[in-house]
Amino acid sequence: MPKHTPASKPVFDTSQVQGRLAPAVARLFKILASHEMRRWRLRIVIAFILTLGGKVLAITAPILFGEGINVLARAGEGGYDASDMSALWPVMGLFITYGVLRMASQSAPQFRDAIFSPVSQDAQRITAVQGFAHVQNLSLSFHQTKRTGAMQQIIHRAAAAIDFLMSTLTFNIVPTAIELTLAAIVVAVRYGIWFSVITVLAVLAYAGATYVLTEWRTRLRREMNEAETEVSARAVDSMSNFETVKAFAAEPREIAGYDEARQVYARAATKTEQSLALLNTVQTTIMSAGLLAMAMLGGYRALQGQLEVGDVAALTMILMSVYQPLNILGWVYRQVKQGAVDLEKLFHLMEQRPEVSDKPGAPALHIQGGGVRFEGVCFAHEGRDRSVEGVSFEIEPGSYVGLAGPSGAGKSTLLRLLFRFYDVEAGRIVIDGQDIREVTQASLRQNLGLVPQEVVLFNSTLGANILYGRPDAHQDEINAAIDRAQLRAFVDSLPDGLNTRVGERGVKLSGGEKQRVGVARAILKDPPILILDEATSALDSQTEAEVQAALNEAAKGRTTIAIAHRLSTIAGADQILVMEAGRLAEHGTHTQLITQNGIYGDMWRRQGERQDNQV
């Protein structure tokens, strides 16, 4: 039979993601150009104009301040008369204008952030929802091999990266380059070319050193982020499975594993912080050297009479203004690189294609009676020689069919194939004459109801969990489902009734209560085909009898397929299918199979002997 090889599946591995900036920027602009972001384009333009305006004002203000000092110096040289107001007004006017322009240059980013905030939040929402939706639509095999906490971290970090990259590229890097160009031109024209050379060289030296050191720091940061992800994933795994941890008294092992992950993270974080200290020291040295060179050359030119005292002050302030956005250049560059990594991880995740997908233009499943037919079905899970092989049988509409057999015989695999969690490798599965691969997955699963061996509930109210299969149900339909699931007495005993919160995965309910909630959910959904996957095997005898009565009520009027660990629960089935080693070994009614004295008969006798020994 065909084998399900690992090569047939996409491999999701983000360990080698490099975080190239160009693809990240291209994806960012693709998001900005999307139809959903169209309504924000005017805000983006206004925010960019405010940023550029602030940069222009930041260059202009120091010139006015320096000119004010020059006016004061000239008045002092000529012997200032306090009664003569002719010099006072120009000086005050220049200083006031400087103050207004500086305030405006500092306020512009605040107005920009207020205008741009809804744009950023909407872009984050779109990115996160797209990532979440893609992960939700990936096949079951993907979710069975991935850590939920790690997937959530990838989506969360990518959404945050969108915000940072948008604000940084639009309001920091590009405007800073424009400010440097403008400053170099103004300084060269007004004060001399050598001041412009000092400005440009200082900035280039600053940027070059920052680039080299930040590239090194980015590698350290990536190691730290991977360690942080491992810490988060370990914590989520352990806390999500706390019952298993406590059952095996494994708290010390879990704590030791968490401590080990934290130690790895601590070492990586220490290296990152030490590298930041080195980067800040180098940046401060370059900035101080640039300012010193500017002040010394300005002082020399002033002594020669080529510049005035106020010009030296203006030059120093202009260079400091150019330096101001560079103070965080290393941090910005590192964050941009990390943002590119985070964004690339998400898009790498979104490149994963589901193994099971609808054909283009696939129609919805049309149920006529609920008849099911398996025709030569073959399938193998990854890493196994076989799971099911050449299985063929037919289930009549409205009949009750039991599935029995030893553990690992392929019973649950058949049900997962029916739900199309996997696609068959050979043969086909037909419902009312329709190959399930030819119809949409949503319509297929809408017509199937499931009560699993362990009903997992959402951390919400009891009513919300019952409504999950059919959120638009009316209250009388909910009450009817509760009654038919034998859940009425339990609901009435709760002070908050259906508004009672059930806890994470339903931990506040007993096994029997959770099973009856699962039955009520299936009844309310009212599917034409009901699947019972060992729905009573984990219950005690009394609870099993109560739940079995609810299951029998749920099975009325619909095609029912029941996997049974306890054969007594399917003894009355219209047909029993017995699986062994992935093949259909026997089929017939309970009486026929007992008479055959085969696999089913042997299982029946063994269960009877165990019950006799327990009495």
Same domain, yes or no: 291 and 416:
no
> What angle, rounded to 10 degrees, do the helices at 174-190 and 309-326 form?
170
Predicted confidence at residue 439, as pLDDT, reads: 92
Predicted confidence at residue 577, as pLDDT, reads: 92
| 493 in a structural domain | no
pLDDT tens digits for range 485-502: 888 888 888 888 888 888
| 557 in a structural domain | no
Chunk the chain into consecutive blocks of 10 residues (it has 615) and report each block's average pLDDT, rounded to whole numbers: 40 52 74 81 87 86 85 67 63 86 86 86 83 74 61 78 78 79 86 89 87 82 86 85 82 89 91 87 88 88 85 86 74 74 77 78 89 91 73 91 86 88 89 91 88 81 86 88 84 87 77 82 87 71 70 81 83 89 89 88 80 51
Predicted confidence at residue 81, as pLDDT, reads: 52
DSSP for 56-93, written as a single string: HHHHHHHHHHHHHHHHHHHHHHT---TT--TTHHHHHH
Predicted confidence at residue 5, as pLDDT, reads: 40
The residue among 350, 377, 402 that closes a domain is 350
The domain that holds 345 is classified in CATH as 1.20.1560.10
pLDDT tens digits for range 395-441: 999 899 999 888 888 888 898 899 888 888 899 999 998 999 999 98
Distance between CA atoms of 203 and 324, rounded to whole angstroms? 11
| 321 in a structural domain | yes
Token digits of residue 525: 């959904």
Separation in Å, CA 215 to CA 281, 327, 402, 573: 16, 17, 63, 68
Predicted confidence at residue 8, as pLDDT, reads: 39
Same domain, yes or no: 261 and 307:
yes
| CB within 8 Å of 398: residues ≥ 6 apart | 369, 370, 557, 558, 559
Distance between CA atoms of 25 and 39, rounded to whole angstroms? 21
Contact in structure between 127 and 158 (CB atoms under 8 Å) = yes
| 491 in a structural domain | no
Contact in structure between 524 and 469 (CB atoms under 8 Å) = yes
The domain that holds 372 is classified in CATH as 3.40.50.300
Same domain, yes or no: 367 and 346:
no
In terms of phi and psi (left: phi > 0; alpha: psi -120 to 50; beta: otherwise), the region of 121 is: alpha
Same domain, yes or no: 146 and 289:
yes
Displacement of CA 455 from its chain's centroid (Å): 25
Same domain, yes or no: 368 and 345:
no
Displacement of CA 264 from its chain's centroid (Å): 24
Same domain, yes or no: 346 and 303:
yes
The residue among 350, 377, 394 that closes a domain is 350
Same domain, yes or no: 339 and 415:
no
Same domain, yes or no: 105 and 166:
yes
DSSP for 485-538, written as a single string: TT-HHHHHHSTTGGG-B--GGGTTS-HHHHHHHHHHHHHHH--SEEEEESTTTT
Same domain, yes or no: 302 and 425:
no
Contact in structure between 466 and 520 (CB atoms under 8 Å) = yes
Range of the structural domain that residue 377 is part of: 363-447+531-537+565-615
The residue among 350, 384, 405 that closes a domain is 350
Same domain, yes or no: 199 and 125:
yes
Nearest to 444 by CA among 519, 363, 379, 373: 363
Token digits of residue 8: 């047939």
Number of separate domains in the chain: 2
| 99 in a structural domain | yes
The DSSP code for 117 is: H
Task: Please state the length of the chain.
Answer: 615
| 136 in a structural domain | yes
Same domain, yes or no: 267 and 118:
yes
| 23 in a structural domain | no
Same domain, yes or no: 343 and 370:
no
Ranges of H-type helices in 241-250 = 242-247
Contact in structure between 451 and 560 (CB atoms under 8 Å) = no
Dihedral sign, Cα of residue 455, residue 460, residue 461, residue 466: negative
| 318 in a structural domain | yes
Distance between CA atoms of 318 and 102, rounded to whole angstroms? 12
- Interior CA angle at 513 toward 511 and 516, to 5°? 110
